[in-house]
Amino acid sequence: MRTLIRNGTVINAGGTLRADVLVEGEKISAITAPGVIETADAYIEADDKYVLPGGIDAHTHMEMPFGGTFSADTFFTGTRAAAWGGTTTIIDFAVQAKGTSLLSTLDKWHEKADGHCAVDYGFHMIVSDVNDQSLKEMESCIDAGVNSFKMFMAYPGVFYATDGEILRAMQKAAGTGATVMMHAENGIAIDELVAQAIAEGRTDPVEHGLTRPPELEGEATSRAIQLARVTGAPLYIVHLSASQALAAVAAARNDGQNVFAETCPQYLYLSIEDLAKPDFEGSKYVASPPLRPKEHQADLWRGLRTNDLSVVSTDHCPFCFKDQKELGRGDFSKIPNGIPGVEHRMDLLHQGVVAGEITLQRWVEVTSATPARMFGLYPRKGVIAPGADADIVVYDPAVRQTLGVATHHMAVDYSAYEGMSITGGVSTVLSRGSVVISDGEFHGHEGHGRFLSRELSQYLV
């Protein structure tokens, strides 16, 4: 099957050109000047549209266990929603429960995801039990194509790792080329502030933000950076939300340290004012790190321009308002943490292009090319080039849409972006050569997505 995408503006991280893109089977086979190839089996007209490499969301949580419940998207509904929004690869997190092994955890996540995803997927591993066996099993995970390990400085008693445990895992990473991903918040201090708030009867969702001040993200980020420096391990800070944390990352990078960071659309567009919405509506915006005062947003956009923030992922972690977020009525600390967003990342970052915050090429770089390089998928993914997987988004920059629960495809009963007006939208999406979205319809199927055994990072070794 030969599909010709005609006369679009092809946007790669490295540049833009007017071209035709030929897809043969699952791969891109040629990029030519418009009109050079005259015949194909099928045609996609891309006049006045952008042709981008499919988005790569390197941070999602489908069916994730949290506080006795599970995030609401399955691997099928979540990857289908991703496709709707122009994301053709997700990297989700397998979650080691304390007392279990990394390899049994990996088996469990394969059982959840294999045969169910609508687009391609990979895994990171959350390490919540650092011991000799886990450290040894990190090597087997790497051999199985899972070479990035998330650790937590937050959530004492659940995922939390001590500095000593982090140090040991970083030593292992330094010797193997694995990537340590850090949830950098000082969970010990935060838990004290949370206990004080509850004891004083301050139980509303906004307290979630007030008890997790940005200084404690900055402090943890600095500490993670120092631990990485001592061990020689490279470091990737996940879901960076605060100016203080960004300053720590920028200083380390200026000093030549191999430190990278991602931010998420919610930190660029939403704020602690959303957490303060009345009638428990604020619970819809509870995630960790929390939404910050608006002043942080300009710094994050600047970080995206200067490359101190290299990746935008969603941290998609949907919990329904009804019955899930509501678990925390009367005690904000029991609200499941997470915000839905896998469907909207490409559109929301395109608003950054429209607003003049980032260029078109940078849009593609932070949402596709760099996550592909960072997580061992490049040049199979993350680029429109001959030989790459035909994961392609045809994007209409002129169309207008309004985000909301009535039109989104995520399996969650609210939208964090309800009523937000967006310029631009996905027109056609191909996943490995198959059209999965076109003409406002999903044409893919459960099980089309394949597991991606990833190479080591191109940046972090």
Residues that bind ligand URP (CB under 6 A): 61, 183, 239, 287-288, 315, 317, 337-338
Closer residue to ligand URP (CB): 50 or 160:
160
We find the least distance from the C-beta atom of residue 337 to ligand URP, in angstroms, to be 3
Partner in contact with 266, chosen from Zn ion, ligand URP, none, beta carbon below 5 to 8 Å by kind: none
* Strands 2-12 and 15-24, sheet pairing: antiparallel
Partner in contact with 241, chosen from Zn ion, ligand URP, none, beta carbon below 5 to 8 Å by kind: none
Alpha carbons within 13 A on the beta-carbon side of 147: 25
In a 3-state reduction of DSSP, which class is residue 32? Answer: strand
- Whether the CB-CB separation of 383 and 54 falls below 8 Å is answered with no
We find the least distance from the C-beta atom of residue 249 to ligand URP, in angstroms, to be 17
Closer residue to ligand URP (CB): 53 or 289:
289
We find the least distance from the C-beta atom of residue 148 to ligand URP, in angstroms, to be 13
Closer residue to ligand URP (CB): 65 or 387:
65
Q: In 158-177, which positions are buried (b, 16+ CB within 10 angstroms) versus exposed (e)?
A: ebbbeeebbbbbbbbbbebb
Write the CB contacts of 375 (distance below 8 Å, at least 6 apart in sequence): 56, 58, 91, 122, 148, 179, 454, 457
- Whether the CB-CB separation of 245 and 217 falls below 8 Å is answered with yes
Show the tokens assigned to 426: 């996905």
We find the least distance from the C-beta atom of residue 192 to ligand URP, in angstroms, to be 19
We find the least distance from the C-beta atom of residue 217 to Zn ion, in angstroms, to be 11
We find the least distance from the C-beta atom of residue 170 to ligand URP, in angstroms, to be 19
Write the CB contacts of 335 (distance below 8 Å, at least 6 apart in sequence): 205, 208, 283, 286, 325, 327, 328
Closer residue to Zn ion (CB): 362 or 454:
454
We find the least distance from the C-beta atom of residue 114 to ligand URP, in angstroms, to be 22
Partner in contact with 287, chosen from Zn ion, ligand URP, none, beta carbon below 5 to 8 Å by kind: ligand URP
Partner in contact with 338, chosen from ligand URP, Zn ion, none, beta carbon below 5 to 8 Å by kind: ligand URP
From CA 456, how far away is CA 21, in angstroms rounded? 29
Q: Which residues bind Zn ion (CB under 5 A)?
A: 183, 315, 434, 448
Show the tokens assigned to 322: 């009804």
Closer residue to Zn ion (CB): 183 or 362:
183
Closer residue to ligand URP (CB): 88 or 337:
337
Closer residue to ligand URP (CB): 46 or 291:
291
Which among 263, 352, 246 is positioned nearest to 299, based on CA atoms? Answer: 246
In a 3-state reduction of DSSP, which class is residue 398? Answer: strand
Show the tokens assigned to 161: 């790792």
Show the tokens assigned to 424: 């631009």
We find the least distance from the C-beta atom of residue 154 to Zn ion, in angstroms, to be 7
Closer residue to ligand URP (CB): 152 or 451:
152
We find the least distance from the C-beta atom of residue 154 to ligand URP, in angstroms, to be 7
- Which residue sits closest to ligand URP, CB atoms considered? 337
What is the DSSP secondary structure assignment for residue 258, as one 8-state letter? Answer: -
**Concatenated DSSP letters for 278-306?**
TTTGGGGG--SSPP--THHHHHHHHHHHH
Partner in contact with 185, chosen from ligand URP, Zn ion, none, beta carbon below 5 to 8 Å by kind: none
To which H or E segment does residue 402 belong? strand 392-402
We find the least distance from the C-beta atom of residue 398 to Zn ion, in angstroms, to be 30
Partner in contact with 448, chosen from Zn ion, ligand URP, none, beta carbon below 5 to 8 Å by kind: Zn ion
* Strands 421-431 and 434-438, sheet pairing: antiparallel
From CA 21, how far away is CA 8, in angstroms rounded? 8
Partner in contact with 9, chosen from ligand URP, Zn ion, none, beta carbon below 5 to 8 Å by kind: none
Neighbours of 390 (CB within 10 A): 24
Radius of gyration of the chain (CA): 21
Closer residue to ligand URP (CB): 218 or 341:
341
Closer residue to Zn ion (CB): 138 or 342:
342
> Residue written as tokens 């937000």?
420
